[in-house]
Protein backbone atom coordinates (compact mmCIF):
# COMPACT_ATOMS: atom_id res chain seq x y z
CA UNK A 1 0.00 0.00 0.00
CA UNK A 2 2.81 2.41 0.88
CA UNK A 3 4.57 1.57 -2.42
CA UNK A 4 1.40 2.32 -4.36
CA UNK A 5 0.97 5.68 -2.63
CA UNK A 6 4.65 6.49 -3.24
CA UNK A 7 4.37 5.69 -6.94
CA UNK A 8 1.19 7.75 -7.31
CA UNK A 9 2.76 10.71 -5.51
CA UNK A 10 5.89 10.48 -7.68
CA UNK A 11 3.76 10.44 -10.84
CA UNK A 12 1.71 13.38 -9.59
CA UNK A 13 4.79 15.44 -8.74
CA UNK A 14 6.49 14.66 -12.04
CA UNK A 15 3.54 15.75 -14.20
CA UNK A 16 4.55 18.51 -16.60
CA UNK A 17 3.44 22.03 -15.77
CA UNK A 18 0.71 23.34 -18.07
CA UNK A 19 1.97 26.93 -18.34
CA UNK A 20 3.30 27.76 -21.76
CA UNK A 21 6.18 30.15 -22.14
CA UNK A 22 5.68 32.59 -24.97
CA UNK A 23 8.70 33.75 -26.91
CA UNK A 24 8.51 36.43 -29.53
CA UNK A 25 11.24 37.60 -31.83
CA UNK A 26 11.26 41.18 -33.11
CA UNK A 27 13.05 42.84 -36.01
CA UNK A 28 13.91 45.95 -34.00
CA UNK A 29 14.09 46.98 -30.34
CA UNK A 30 11.40 49.58 -31.09
CA UNK A 31 8.92 46.87 -32.08
CA UNK A 32 9.73 44.91 -28.94
CA UNK A 33 9.23 48.05 -26.83
CA UNK A 34 5.90 48.73 -28.57
CA UNK A 35 4.76 45.14 -27.92
CA UNK A 36 5.67 45.42 -24.23
CA UNK A 37 3.95 48.80 -23.93
CA UNK A 38 0.77 47.55 -25.61
CA UNK A 39 0.53 44.38 -23.50
CA UNK A 40 1.01 46.46 -20.36
CA UNK A 41 -1.59 49.09 -21.33
CA UNK A 42 -4.31 46.74 -22.59
CA UNK A 43 -6.57 45.09 -20.00
CA UNK A 44 -7.32 41.38 -19.86
CA UNK A 45 -11.07 41.13 -20.42
CA UNK A 46 -11.30 37.94 -18.37
CA UNK A 47 -9.24 38.97 -15.34
CA UNK A 48 -10.26 42.65 -15.50
CA UNK A 49 -7.66 43.78 -12.99
CA UNK A 50 -4.65 42.51 -14.92
CA UNK A 51 -3.05 43.66 -18.11
CA UNK A 52 -2.35 41.35 -21.03
CA UNK A 53 1.30 40.97 -20.02
CA UNK A 54 0.40 39.64 -16.54
CA UNK A 55 -2.62 37.48 -17.36
CA UNK A 56 -2.50 33.76 -18.11
CA UNK A 57 -6.10 33.59 -19.36
CA UNK A 58 -6.59 32.07 -22.81
CA UNK A 59 -8.11 35.29 -24.14
CA UNK A 60 -5.11 37.27 -22.90
CA UNK A 61 -2.81 34.82 -24.68
CA UNK A 62 -4.83 35.28 -27.88
CA UNK A 63 -4.74 39.07 -27.53
CA UNK A 64 -0.98 39.01 -26.89
CA UNK A 65 -0.56 36.93 -30.04
CA UNK A 66 -2.74 39.33 -32.06
CA UNK A 67 -0.77 42.28 -30.67
CA UNK A 68 2.47 40.54 -31.64
CA UNK A 69 1.21 39.94 -35.17
CA UNK A 70 0.15 43.57 -35.54
CA UNK A 71 3.48 44.88 -34.20
CA UNK A 72 5.36 42.48 -36.47
CA UNK A 73 3.28 43.76 -39.42
CA UNK A 74 4.38 47.31 -38.64
CA UNK A 75 1.12 48.63 -37.17
CA UNK A 76 1.38 51.72 -34.99
CA UNK A 77 0.27 52.07 -31.38
CA UNK A 78 -2.84 53.98 -32.49
CA UNK A 79 -3.75 51.30 -35.03
CA UNK A 80 -3.42 48.53 -32.44
CA UNK A 81 -5.53 50.46 -29.92
CA UNK A 82 -8.13 51.25 -32.57
CA UNK A 83 -8.38 47.56 -33.50
CA UNK A 84 -8.74 46.43 -29.88
CA UNK A 85 -11.30 49.12 -29.01
CA UNK A 86 -13.32 48.39 -32.17
CA UNK A 87 -13.45 44.74 -31.25
CA UNK A 88 -13.70 44.84 -27.41
CA UNK A 89 -14.80 48.37 -26.53
CA UNK A 90 -13.17 51.00 -24.33
CA UNK A 91 -13.05 48.54 -21.42
CA UNK A 92 -9.95 46.96 -22.97
CA UNK A 93 -8.04 50.16 -22.15
CA UNK A 94 -6.70 50.84 -18.67
CA UNK A 95 -7.09 54.57 -19.37
CA UNK A 96 -10.28 54.90 -21.42
CA UNK A 97 -10.81 58.23 -23.19
CA UNK A 98 -13.16 60.81 -21.67
CA UNK A 99 -16.35 60.71 -23.72
CA UNK A 100 -20.04 60.36 -23.06
CA UNK A 101 -19.98 56.56 -22.82
CA UNK A 102 -17.06 56.55 -20.35
CA UNK A 103 -17.96 59.65 -18.37
CA UNK A 104 -19.23 57.63 -15.42
CA UNK A 105 -15.86 55.83 -15.20
CA UNK A 106 -14.16 59.18 -14.70
CA UNK A 107 -16.76 60.98 -12.57
CA UNK A 108 -18.17 57.98 -10.70
CA UNK A 109 -15.47 57.75 -8.02
CA UNK A 110 -15.74 61.50 -7.31
CA UNK A 111 -19.53 61.19 -7.12
CA UNK A 112 -19.28 58.31 -4.64
CA UNK A 113 -16.76 60.28 -2.57
CA UNK A 114 -19.05 63.34 -2.46
CA UNK A 115 -22.02 61.19 -1.40
CA UNK A 116 -19.93 59.54 1.32
CA UNK A 117 -18.81 62.93 2.67
CA UNK A 118 -22.40 64.22 2.75
CA UNK A 119 -23.67 61.11 4.53
CA UNK A 120 -20.81 61.18 7.05
CA UNK A 121 -21.35 64.89 7.75
CA UNK A 122 -25.07 64.41 8.36
CA UNK A 123 -24.42 61.41 10.58
CA UNK A 124 -21.89 63.31 12.71
CA UNK A 125 -24.19 66.33 13.01
CA UNK A 126 -27.15 64.18 14.03
CA UNK A 127 -25.03 62.46 16.70
CA UNK A 128 -23.81 65.81 18.02
CA UNK A 129 -27.30 67.27 18.23
CA UNK A 130 -28.59 64.15 20.00
CA UNK A 131 -25.89 64.38 22.69
CA UNK A 132 -26.03 68.17 23.16
CA UNK A 133 -27.77 69.61 26.24
CA UNK A 134 -31.29 70.65 25.40
CA UNK A 135 -32.12 74.34 25.69
CA UNK A 136 -34.65 74.97 28.47
CA UNK A 137 -37.00 77.91 28.59
CA UNK A 138 -37.10 80.21 31.60
CA UNK A 139 -40.43 78.68 32.66
CA UNK A 140 -38.98 75.15 32.54
CA UNK A 141 -35.98 76.26 34.62
CA UNK A 142 -38.29 77.86 37.23
CA UNK A 143 -40.39 74.67 37.51
CA UNK A 144 -37.24 72.54 37.85
CA UNK A 145 -35.87 74.78 40.65
CA UNK A 146 -39.17 74.59 42.53
CA UNK A 147 -39.18 70.81 42.28
CA UNK A 148 -35.62 70.64 43.58
CA UNK A 149 -36.50 72.93 46.52
CA UNK A 150 -39.51 70.73 47.38
CA UNK A 151 -37.29 67.60 47.17
CA UNK A 152 -34.65 69.13 49.45
CA UNK A 153 -37.27 70.21 52.05
CA UNK A 154 -38.97 66.84 52.12
CA UNK A 155 -35.79 64.86 52.82
Q: Output the average pLDDT for the chain.
A: 84
Choose among 33, 53, 31, 34: nearest CA to 43.
53
Instruction: For 57-82, write each residue's pLDDT tens digit.
Output: 888 889 999 999 999 999 999 999 99
* Predicted model pTM: 0.56
Confidence of residue 18 (pLDDT cuts 50, 70, 90): very low
Judged by average pLDDT, the poorest of 10-14, 24-28, 34-38 is: 10-14
Q: Which fold has domain 21-97?
A: Helicase, Ruva Protein; domain 3 (1.10.8)
The segment(s) of the chain belonging to CATH 1.10.8.640 are: 21-97
Q: Average of pLDDT values for 75-101?
A: 88
pLDDT for the residue numbered 119: 96
Q: Average of pLDDT values for 125-129?
A: 81
Identify the DSSP state of 101.
G
Judged by average pLDDT, the poorest of 5-9, 36-40, 121-125 is: 5-9
Q: What share of the chain is helix, strand, coil (3-state, %, to 5)?
A: 65, 5, 30
pLDDT for the residue numbered 19: 46
Amino acid sequence: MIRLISVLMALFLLMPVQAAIETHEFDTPEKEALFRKMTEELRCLVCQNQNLADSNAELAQDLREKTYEMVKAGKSEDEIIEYMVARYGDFVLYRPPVKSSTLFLWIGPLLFLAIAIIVATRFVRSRQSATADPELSDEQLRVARELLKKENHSS
